[in-house]
Structure 1
Amino acid sequence: MLQRKTKTTSLASIISYTLPKLHTGKNWYIDFLAYDPLEQRLKRKKYMLDAIPKKADRKARAAELIAALQGKLRTGWTPWTEGANSRQYTKIADVFDYYFKYLDKLYKAGTLKYNTYNDYTKRLEMLRAYNENRAMPIYYAYQIDTAFISDFLDYILIDREASPRTRNNYKGCIATFCNWMIEKGYITANPCDAIKKLTTEPKYRSALTSDDLAKLKTYLEEKNPHFLLLCMFAYYTFIRPDEISHLKVKDIDVAGQKVHLSSEFTKNRREGTVGLNDAVVRLMATLHVFDTDGEYYLFGRGFKPARKRANPDAYRKYFNKVRDALHFTDHYQFYSLKDTGIRDLANAKGIVIARDQARHSDIHTTNKYLKHEGTVHEETKHFKGGL
């Protein structure tokens, strides 16, 4: 009995409808089976034709109705949704459009950072395109289920040859989308909950050694001093790349050697002020940064003061080119400059000073940047203890 029930349930989840068929005799009617998403089973639907007096008219009406029903069933329509007061039967195309408008609103309001906004829209556009290109696209919101999302993630991993980490990032983005759909009443449960994350290698980002830091400086002094200034900003101020991209010339207090950070663009949505190192001020003067319009973005196109803000991805991409040119390890990333700066300032002036410059809430956060990596200090060998 249990086996028969399991087979029926499995079959119903695969076959969502049967083709409409005309029956003639004492009663004329069209019937077919269609999946009811609320009861989660196939149910029989009948359309009676006895009210049409003439047989010829019944046949003509039956042919029209069968053709119309077949077309609607192929799109994912089911008669059990008609008249139901539920958002679960909203067209998926409309759900995507509404969600994109929602993300756009959050981004313009400053609630959503550019990178997050860009990642979510790109990945969900990929999901939408995947559905539209399927042989049988899903049509309604309720059809976004575990099988559909699992197939899409396999497409990302296998067909597009993405890494397990990228596949997991897509899953996270879709899970957020599905949580929003639950909130709006489009679905009742998150289908991503049943999909496991793939095991990935941990990300490894390392601080630059003193020698490599010197090589980077020498190389950029000749090749691109404006990008050197950007690297020095990341190294000395510990300001995040996205925050740097929003800085304007007017945010620099030359006399006080300070940088003002607006709460509109900081990660914790709080205003901040950090110190500006002598070396950074000197290079800014050499490059005539202070002679430009105060409303210009400090590191715009070409890493120079410009009216148009640059995407922080440009910082990372150019750093990677420099890294390759210098034959550095790929563990060095643009963000490694912040790691390196925190390490060097903490070692030179103490962890409390490094904490305040990094705008960390406590020393434990700062300490995460100070990787010990099994270092053995000579002092541990020769100090005189009390035991």
Structure 2
Amino acid sequence: MHYKIEIVPRNVPRNITVTVGKKRYSDPKLYIPKKDGKATVEPNKRWYVYFYWRTDPNGVLDRKLQFTKNINRFNTVKERKAVGNALVDAYRLALSRGWHPIEKKTIKKEPSRNTLNTIIKALEYSMKVINTENKSEATVSVYKNRLNIFTQWLTNNNLAGLNPNSLTTEHFYMFLDYLRFEYKKKDGKVLSNTTIDNYRREIGAIFSVLQRQRIIATNPIKGVAKIKSKPIKNKAFTSGDIKKIKDYLLRNDPYLIDFISFIIYPLFRPKEICRLKVSDIDLNSMTIGVETKTGYNRRKVIEKIKPIILKMDLEQKRADVNLFTHKNKPIFWDAKLKTKVDHFGYRFKKVRDALGFSKEYTIYSFRHSAILNLYNNLQKSGLNEREIIYKLMPITKHRSEAGIRNYLRDIKQSIPRDHSDMFTINF
């Protein structure tokens, strides 16, 4: 219905012109097939709701539309009439509210926050929020993997339909017991306490998102105690160890020497090296950009790794090519970051096992070895500890003095000097 108000002078009576447009549809009706004048439910007699539609809004009712909507699945006249009349009312209401029976709308409506009424839906929503928070690919991947195990456990224990606010701390303790006593990795091994505690921390972070978004009132995982564990720490190699490893690599895997050189000299972590692409190298200024824990930053290409970069012939490579790959040369490597890091980790594990090093020695140990080597050489040059710390911070990229002190405390394996001259006991 269209309303048109004509503006006229005050001394003239006001007139309102109402123009009634044509309704595009006839009133929906239920078609009831009959036999001998009575309604029938015989197989070849279809029941349906119908109405006529104007293809041209100003034209005639030229199109008959029919909808069965499973009416004919019912076996009695009474049932079909009840369902059919309900459908008539539904179509009448839909048409009155502007439903267009011919145009198919393809716009997908995002679910309302009010639909997040189960724990599974709420956790899916939480991951959508996390995906908008500019977290690294590796972090999001870990969250997804942890969450998949958790949601599978919820489903298996008939908890997936719980309201998000109904999940308790006790439920999560049950999940941790499952990880500790029942869950097995693909290789059949159980999870370490460190890994189980990582589940606690990372799933707790996902629930924190729900709390921040006011989907849940409290985070049920916040009160779960940290699981005690004694993590295996990477030990630093000695100079003799490093020489022995290099000799072995020269004979068996020389490409790994270049990869490890990027750990030792610029002190990159394996994850950071695996992210490096041609676009990160500026051959004019001889700088290299790297995405670290503290963000993306550029560093000078030091002389120790310049020959490695120059022999890669990067001028001829595309910007999206990876520097280090499973093919032992710069190529485009379409794999997850974890897959890339694991590839080089497994390659070094073969070296470690062949040379008889324990599991405390990993490819990451080279970073500890390098920083310890720098510390010892600066100490030999006569610098005191505070001076050494300030020299190392720009190189190691630690944000605080306390941070690098804690790091050094973990990796230092210094042997105290002979203290015989301090005794006054002669035994």
Distance change (3 Å), C-alpha of 1:309 and 1:268: farther
Please point out which of 317, 325, 329 is paired with 1:300.
325
**Percent same amino acid among aligned pairs?**
24
Indicate whether 1:141 and 2:141 are aligned.
no
State the partner residue of 1:94: 121
Which residue in the other structure is 1:268 paired with?
294
User: SS state of the match for residue 215, structure 1?
Assistant: helix
Residues 349 and 258 (structure 1), Cα distance of their counterparts in 2 relative to 1, 3 Å cut: farther
AA matched with 1:373: Q
Equivalent position amino acid for 1:358 in 2 = T
Tell whether 2:403 aligns with 1:365. yes
Instruction: Map 1:209-224 to 2 at 5 A.
Output: 209-224=238-253
Per-residue CA deviations over 1:54-103 (Å, capped at 9, x if unaligned) read xxxxxxxxxxxxxxxxxxxxxxxxxxxxxxx9959612232122222223
Match in the other structure for 1:356: 394
2:194–2:231 contact (8 Å) kept in structure 1: no
Bigger Cα displacement from structure 2, 343-352 vs 213-222: 343-352
The answer to which of 163-172 and 128-137 deviates more is: 128-137
Q: Does 1:207 align with 2:236?
A: yes
What's the CA shift string for 1:144-189, capped at 9, x where partnerless? Answer: 2112211111111110132222221111112112211112222211
What is the root-mean-square deviation of aligned Cα atoms in Å? 3.0
Q: What is the aligned length?
A: 289
Please point out which of 232, 252, 259 is paired with 1:230: 259
Residues 372 and 358 (structure 1), Cα distance of their counterparts in 2 relative to 1, 3 Å cut: closer
2:219 matched residue in structure 1: 190
Output the CA distance in 2 between the equivalents of 1:187 and 1:172: 18
For residue 112 of structure 1, give the secondary structure of its aligned residue in structure 2: coil
Pick the structure with greater CA Rg. 2
Is the 8 Å Cα contact of residues 237 and 366 (structure 2) preserved in structure 1? yes
Q: CA deviation at 1:344?
A: 1.4
CA contact 1:343–1:369 (8 Å) conserved in 2? no
Counterpart check, 1:282 vs 2:322: no
Gaps of 5+ in 2: 1-111, 184-189, 380-387, 422-427
Q: Provide the rounded CA distance (Å) in 1 between the counterparts of 2:116 and 2:278.
A: 52
Letter in 2 for 1:293: K
2:288–2:301 CA contact under 8 A, matched in 1: yes
Structure 1 segments unaligned to the other structure (5+ residues): 1-84, 383-387
What are the within-5 Å matches in structure 2 for residues 146-157 of structure 1? 146-157=169-180
Alpha-carbon separation, structure 1, partners of 2:360 and 2:263: 17
Q: Is the 8 A contact 1:88 1:187 kept in 2?
A: no
CA contact (8 A) 1:145 1:191 kept: yes
Asked if structure 1 preserves the Cα contact closer than 8 Å seen for 2:120 and 2:160, the reply is: no
Aligned residue type for 1:232:
S
Q: Distance in 1 between matches of 2:377 and 2:257?
A: 22
CA shift for structure 1 position 363: 4.5
Instruction: Give the letter aligned to residue 153 of structure 1.
Output: L
Q: 1:93 to 1:218 in 2, by over 3 A?
A: same
Which amino acid is the alignment partner of residue 145 of structure 1? T
SS of 2:317 mapped into structure 1 = coil
What is the CA distance between 1:231 and its match in structure 2?
0.6
Report the alpha carbon displacement of residue 303 of structure 1 after superposing the two structures with TM: 4.6
1:131 equivalent in alignment to 2:157: no
Cα distance between partner residues in 1 of 2:377 and 2:354: 30
Tell me which residue corresponds to 1:245: 274
Q: After superposition, what is the alpha-carbon deviation per residue over 1:329-353, rounded to whole angstroms, capped at 9, x for unaligned?
A: 2111222111111111233356344
Separation (CA, whole Å) in 2 of partners of 1:348 and 1:168 = 38
Aligned-partner SS, 1:155: helix
Deviations 1:92-133 (A, max 9, x none): 232122222223333xxxx31233212111001111111112
- Could you report, residue by residue, the CA deviation over 1:319-371 in whole angstroms, capped at 9, with x for unpaired residues? 22322222112111222111111111233356344332222334543344434
Q: Does 1:343 align with 2:372?
A: yes
TM-score, structure 1 normalization: 0.66
Secondary structure of 1:131's partner?
helix
TM-score, normalization: structure 2? 0.60
Within 5 Å, give how 1:145-184 maps onto structure 2. Answer: 145-160=168-183, 161-184=190-213
Conserved 8 A contact 1:257-1:277: no
Q: Is the 8 A contact 1:248 1:294 kept in 2?
A: no
1:142 and 1:229 map into 2 onto residues whose CA distance is 52
